[in-house]
């Protein structure tokens, strides 16, 4: 893990130099991470590319490619999280692919869709600017306290599948209170990725972080 932190630092340095925001998206299997990125592809006015992490299959990268988003699939072959040395190689390939796909257009953001897992991905630094915690209403409101490391460290918490609220037991007050207890500052955004409700707030959040990063570099 100590060795891997060197790779993470190197990634962070290189992306700061290039003014590319790097966002590590973490959530349970099926919480809507890929659908979030699909909605992002349809509506964002910034440019982005995606690293997809999965144990097996390249289905998520195929979903991205179908929307003309440059995507690089990492298959971890049994590992429950992405590691920085693999991500560093993926970023190189991704940048080459993006430059071919969108010649002349600067790359604003790299999203890393981590393996569907709330535990280990929260512990590994991939050189990202920040982590995003994604949790769906179908999972229930008790997840923040059960997986505190992720919810405490995320710079933004996304509650997805709000369209299912009428059909599931979900204590919104408890969810918000528990996230706040772990993480007093990060915004909690509610999203229905079927209708697209809440996606604009997500895009505004990312855009503000792109601006911040550009500012950091200028300083």
Residues that bind a copy of itself (CB under 8 A): 28-31, 54-57, 59, 78-80, 115-120, 123, 135-136, 138-140, 142-143, 145-149, 161, 163-164, 167-168
Angle between helix axes 199-218 and 33-43 (nearest 10 degrees) is: 80
Between CA 194 and CA 49 the distance in angstroms is 22
Closest separation in Å from C-beta 42 to a copy of itself: 16
- Nearest CB to a copy of itself, comparing residues 134 and 210: 134
Q: 61, 52 in Cβ contact below 8 A?
A: yes
- Count CB atoms within 10 A of the CB of residue 55: 14
Q: Can you read off the two tokens belonging to residue 59?
A: 């289905």
- Nearest CB to a copy of itself, comparing residues 153 and 207: 153
- Nearest CB to a copy of itself, comparing residues 24 and 28: 28
Pick the closest to residue 95 from 170, 34, 14 (CA basis). 14
Q: 186, 205 in Cβ contact below 8 A?
A: no
Closest separation in Å from C-beta 108 to a copy of itself: 28
Q: Can you read off the two tokens belonging to residue 166?
A: 């009428």
Helix, strand or coil, per DSSP, at residue 136: strand
Closest separation in Å from C-beta 116 to a copy of itself: 7
Q: 129, 110 in Cβ contact below 8 A?
A: no
Name the residue with tokens 């604003």.
108
- Nearest CB to a copy of itself, comparing residues 5 and 167: 167
- Nearest CB to a copy of itself, comparing residues 14 and 165: 165
Closest separation in Å from C-beta 89 to a copy of itself: 22
Between CA 76 and CA 214 the distance in angstroms is 32
Q: Largest Cα–Cα distance in the chain?
A: 49
- Nearest CB to a copy of itself, comparing residues 75 and 207: 75
Q: 113, 50 in Cβ contact below 8 A?
A: yes
Closest separation in Å from C-beta 193 to a copy of itself: 11
Closest separation in Å from C-beta 164 to a copy of itself: 6
């Amino acid at each position: 893990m100590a060795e891997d932190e060197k790779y993470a630092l190197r990634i962070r340095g290189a992306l700061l130099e290039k003014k590319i925001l790097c966002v590590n998206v973490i959530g349970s299997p099926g919480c809507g991470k890929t659908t979030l990125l699909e909605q992002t592809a349809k509506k964002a006015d910034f440019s982005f590319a995606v690293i997809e992490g999965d144990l097996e299959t390249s289905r998520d990268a195929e979903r991205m490619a179908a929307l003309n988003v440059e995507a690089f699939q990492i298959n971890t072959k049994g590992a429950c999280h992405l590691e920085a040395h693999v991500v560093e190689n993926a970023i190189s390939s991704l940048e080459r692919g993006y430059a071919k796909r969108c010649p002349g257009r600067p790359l604003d953001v790299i999203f890393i869709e981590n393996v569907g897992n709330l535990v280990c991905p929260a512990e590994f630094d991939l050189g990202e600017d920040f982590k995003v915690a994604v949790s769906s209403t179908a999972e229930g409101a008790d997840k923040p306290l059960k997986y505190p490391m992720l919810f405490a460290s995320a710079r933004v918490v996304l509650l997805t599948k709000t369209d299912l609220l009428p059909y599931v037991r979900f204590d919104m007050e408890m969810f918000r209170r528990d996230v706040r207890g772990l993480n007093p500052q990060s915004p909690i955004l509610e999203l229905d990725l079927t209708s697209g409700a809440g996606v604009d707030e997500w895009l505004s959040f990312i855009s503000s972080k792109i601006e911040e990063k550009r500012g950091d570099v200028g300083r």
